[in-house]
Structure 1
Amino acid sequence: MERHRNSIEYEVWGRYALFSEVATRVGGEKCSYQVPTYQALKGITESIYWKPTFKWVIDAVRVMNKIQTESKGVRPIKMSGGNDLSYYTYLKDVRYQVLAHFEWNDQRKELAGDRDENKHHNIAMRSVRQGGRRDIFLGARECQAYIEPCEFGGGEGFYDSYGEWNMGYMFHGFSYPDENPDHNLISRFWTPVMEDGVIRFESPDSPLLDRHIVRHGLNVKEFNLGKNVTSVEEE
């Protein structure tokens, strides 16, 4: 597995996970994908350490435990008030190894002075050892998770000699307005294949991904060093 000089490797685990897909939410029901999406892992990595100066790129995920599901009756709050009754299908007893690296966000020219790769990488590594800067969740707020450093590919995984498993057509992630020059919100889809427990992700700009524009030309929040963004020197 190729590693970048600013890569981080970590293991994330929890009792439950819910990587839900919009098509499974009809009538308030939610059903999890069998594996985490690129976007979910990006969100977890951003909870470890994030600044608008760069964007995280998820290279691969390794599924360590057997894929199992469990359905629960829940009482979500209705928009009109009161409670409703729904059934959510969660993944249970999950554990993943994640390999990721960061790249500069070229749409953030105003933060060019904060591009110190070595310092950001050191802060990210330290944040992994400390369990992240913000709470970690596996797809949903009720799915609390925990992280620790690891060597990607180390240890024994349930699917190490399983071979190939086509996971079907699924959501990959979002390209947000501040990550593309047209400032569009774009949704990406793909058909991942897990090989011996490892899914290698296509990069967000890969031509192999299906793209759909959700919203055109959205406003982008402004960041300025010393005002609403601290310099890496102050971290």
Structure 2
Amino acid sequence: MRNQIEFEVSGKYALFTDPLTKIGGEKFTYQIPSYQSLKGIVESVYWKPTIIWYIDELRVMNSIQTESKGIRPIEYNGGNTLAYYTYLKDVKYRVRCHFEFNPYREDLIADRNENKHHNIAKRAVQAGGRRDIFLGTRECQGYVEPTVFGEGRGFYDDTPEIDFGIMVHGINYPDETGKPEMETRLWRAKMEYGIIRFIRPEECTIVRKTGEGAIKPFTSSNMQFVDNLYADLFGEEDSE
């Protein structure tokens, strides 16, 4: 695709929390990152409200390992408590994704320039992203660098299939759906020869309403400020 990017993201630890484990104050990671967590990483590389990122494929490069740590999180009423968090260890992923224009942001139609956004996104990958990269949670720092998705040797390249069962796919926000409610999507994740191919958000059949929301407003002055910031960080914007 003309508007597709590929990059590698790695880190010493990752915590893509399974929401079922948070009830008692503990946290246990999924074995793989969710669609939504990868989308958050891509948006930390480059994002504007004009576009929506879609995660196409994830390639798991390192073996899936976990490590538990005793943590003393702060309680809501003050003080500390003791909990065990289970992290992924020594993670490395390759991500292939693309963007599409947000059809619900007609107020930003003047910013729908595919070449401009694609070129800035590629330069942002080269620079390691425009914001700090976190692997599921703030204490897990990640690092982004450009790569070729299919090159190199991955740990699961010869494994026909691993089924991860039902897990969270992502969240539907009003900005990207045009609806006033927030929804959580679930799907059945599986990896084939080291690659997870994500379905699109609208293809998820298990969807549950989780709250209310509204489309965020963006003024022309806000957008111009962001354009100028990206030009300073990554060079002049390409319009052709």
Distance (whole Å) between structure 2 residues aligned to residue 21 and residue 45 of structure 1: 21
After superposition, residues 158-169 of structure 1 pair within 5 angstroms as 158-169=155-166
How far is 1:209 from its partner? 3.2
Distance (whole Å) between structure 2 residues aligned to residue 120 and residue 169 of structure 1: 34
Distance (whole Å) between structure 2 residues aligned to residue 88 and residue 219 of structure 1: 33
CA RMSD of aligned residues (A): 1.2
Q: Equivalent residue for 2:139?
A: 142
Identity, in percent, stands at 55
Contact 2:14–2:137 (8 Å) recurs in 1: yes
Q: Equivalent residue for 2:181?
A: 184
TM-score (norm 1): 0.95
1:143-189, Cα deviation, whole Å (9 max, x unpaired): 00101001111100000001111111100001101111222211100
How far is 1:26 from its partner? 2.4
1:43-65, Cα deviation, whole Å (9 max, x unpaired): 00000000001110000100000
User: Number of paired residues?
Assistant: 229
Q: Equivalent residue for 2:206?
A: 210
After superposition, residues 1-235 of structure 1 pair within 5 angstroms as 4-206=1-203, 208-216=204-212, 218-225=213-220, 227-230=221-224, 234=228, 235=231
Distance (whole Å) between structure 2 residues aligned to residue 58 and residue 183 of structure 1: 24
Distance (whole Å) between structure 2 residues aligned to residue 116 and residue 183 of structure 1: 27
Q: Which has the higher helix share?
A: 2
Contact 1:176–1:184 (8 Å) recurs in 2: yes
Contact 1:119–1:232 (8 Å) recurs in 2: no
Distance (whole Å) between structure 2 residues aligned to residue 125 and residue 190 of structure 1: 30
Distance 1:194-1:228 versus aligned 2 partners, 3 A rule: same
1:80-106, Cα deviation, whole Å (9 max, x unpaired): 011111000000000000000001111
Distance (whole Å) between structure 2 residues aligned to residue 233 and residue 170 of structure 1: 36
1:13-53, Cα deviation, whole Å (9 max, x unpaired): 00000000211112210000000000000000000000001
Contact 1:114–1:231 (8 Å) recurs in 2: no
How far is 1:219 from its partner? 2.1
TM-score (norm 2): 0.93
One-letter amino acid matched to 1:220: I
Distance (whole Å) between structure 2 residues aligned to residue 183 and residue 103 of structure 1: 21
Distance (whole Å) between structure 1 residues aligned to residue 119 and residue 130 of structure 2: 14
One-letter amino acid matched to 2:6: E
